[in-house]
Chain A
Amino acid sequence: MAQHKINYTQNGGLPVALTSIDKIVNWGRSNSIWALTYGLACCGIEMMASGASRYDFDRFGTIFRASPRQADVMIVAGTLTKKHAEFIKRLYDQMAEPKWVISMGSCANTGGMFNTYATVQGVDRIIPVDLYLPGCAPRPETLQYGVMLLQKKIRANKASRAQTDKRLM
């Protein structure tokens, strides 16, 4: 037997791992969730804090991108006004499939304290939402937890099947 006997089934043997397509694709997707920089109000500050060194989103592979065409997840962080509603739809449409939406904070969930004529009462009136984070504003831990739950959600889906496009209607 050769000196360098390799047990292929063990970790730390050769970099060989046996898995299914689903799992490898979902592993890739769930560990490189690039987020759109979309701070609309004070929740945006918490979102920035989550990306900075203390909470460090980079270790999840979550990197903020300034273009919807490079983003996988849209974190709607803040109050969505009615004037801005058409632009969130436009940005969402520009994101490539598969895509996910996290609604961060009370304002994005339900309109929150802004029970007025100028505020959209929940972003789910405009775009389909995967995850709602409660809080005003949610702490970075909450967003971190939300991203981990989103990773879990991505892993639970079949990656090989052609995903049906998410549309509100």
Chain B
Amino acid sequence: MRAYKPKDNVQAKAYYTDRFYVSPQVPKSHVESDEVFARDLEAIKAKFDVLDAYIQVGQMVVFINPSDNYKVLELLRDELEYTQLSEMSAIDWLADRGGFEIFYQMLSMNKRKRLRIKMFINKGEAVNSVEKLFRSADWSEREMFDMFGIEANGHPFMKRILMPYDWQGHPLLKTYPLQGDEFAAWYEVDKIYGKEARDIIGPELRDSAKVDRYDSERFARLGHEVPKGTKITGNEPKVVQNYQEEGGVFMVKKFDKKDSVVIDDPQR
């Protein structure tokens, strides 16, 4: 018998999960297999707690405690030559583990190595801002706040960066529907015309494949156009759309197809 799956929380389930599906994993290797990374890990371990560390696709991944993130990145930058923070963001693990994984992707141009610092925070917790260490974290942390709702303590301008300031919800959460929640669906109508305009403007037409040839309000049949709102029977006569009216246009030369020249040479 198939295992019972509660259906009252379908939104929170981001993916359909197959019982027999095993998600493919990139193979991990020990840190000792790379001597540069091994030395780096020793230096981090000497001062901070390291929860886990391994090498994946030639990059070392180090799990630390979330409270240490500023100090660890400072150590990496000032002593271990990881001078660039190329990327940082969060991963939504709310459904599985009730929190977020935050990663800092570091690059050392001298060592020609990339290293990733990871840490896990629970829902509702804030992280320490690393904007004072790396300027690139300025916008990244704002984006993290915009997309996941994770605040960075000590950030100089903790506001949304992509979505409007008055937006509600955090779009990169796995529970956020791709086509938007009710707030998103009515955002522009509510903001410009007010909530009372919802009935007049109507809901969004989200079915992109919808074509109704009998609907003359929204669709037209090429070559058989009728005025908007006409009831369509299906026997509409062919209409030739001309550039100009039959009687000619005042002070504008009549366009005659016979006099026009077709240029075959594209490089004319």
Contact = CB atoms under 8 A, between A and B. Distances in A.
B184 A117 contact: yes
Contacts of A83: 163-164
Given A23-B250, A85-B192, A125-B204, A155 B245 contact: yes
A118 B192 contact: no
Contacts of A17: 250-251
Interface string A69-101: 000000000000011011001000000000000
Contacts of B164: 82-83
A149 B241 contact: yes
Contacts of A116: 178-180
Interface residues of B, number: 32
B261 interface: no
Interface in B170-203: 171, 176-181, 184-185, 187-189, 191-193, 197, 200-201
Contacts of B181: 117
Given A83-B163, A118-B163, A152 B188 contact: no
B193 A169 contact: yes
Contacts of A120: 188
Contact of A86 (B191, B197, B249): B191
Consensus secondary structure, chain A interface: loop
B33 interface: no
Contacts of A145: 243
Contacts of A110: 205, 208
B252 A121 contact: no
Contacts, number: 77
A3 B217 CA distance: 62
A157 interface: no
Contact of A126 (B177, B185, B192, B251): B192
Interface in B227-255: 241, 243-245, 249-252
Nearest to A148: B243
A136 B210 CA distance: 17
Contacts of B205: 110, 121-122
Contacts of A152: 243-245
Q: Which of B180, B185, B192, B243 has the most CB of A within 10 A?
A: B192
Contacts of A125: 188-189, 201, 204
A104 B177 CA distance: 28
Contacts of A168: 193, 201
Given A82-B187, A110-B208, A169-B201, A117 B250 contact: no
B56 to A, nearest CB: 31
Given A117-B184, A118-B184, 11 more contacts: A23-B250, A27-B250, A82-B184, A86-B192, A117-B176, A117-B179, A118-B171, A120-B188, A121-B206, A149-B241, A149-B243
Interface of A: 17, 19, 23-24, 27, 31, 82-83, 85-86, 89, 110-113, 115-118, 120-122, 125-126, 145, 148-149, 152, 155-156, 168-169
21 contacts: A19-B250, A83-B163, A85-B191, A86-B188, A112-B208, A113-B208, A116-B178, A116-B179, A117-B171, A117-B179, A118-B180, A121-B204, A122-B205, A125-B201, A126-B188, A148-B243, A149-B241, A149-B243, A152-B243, A155-B249, A169-B193
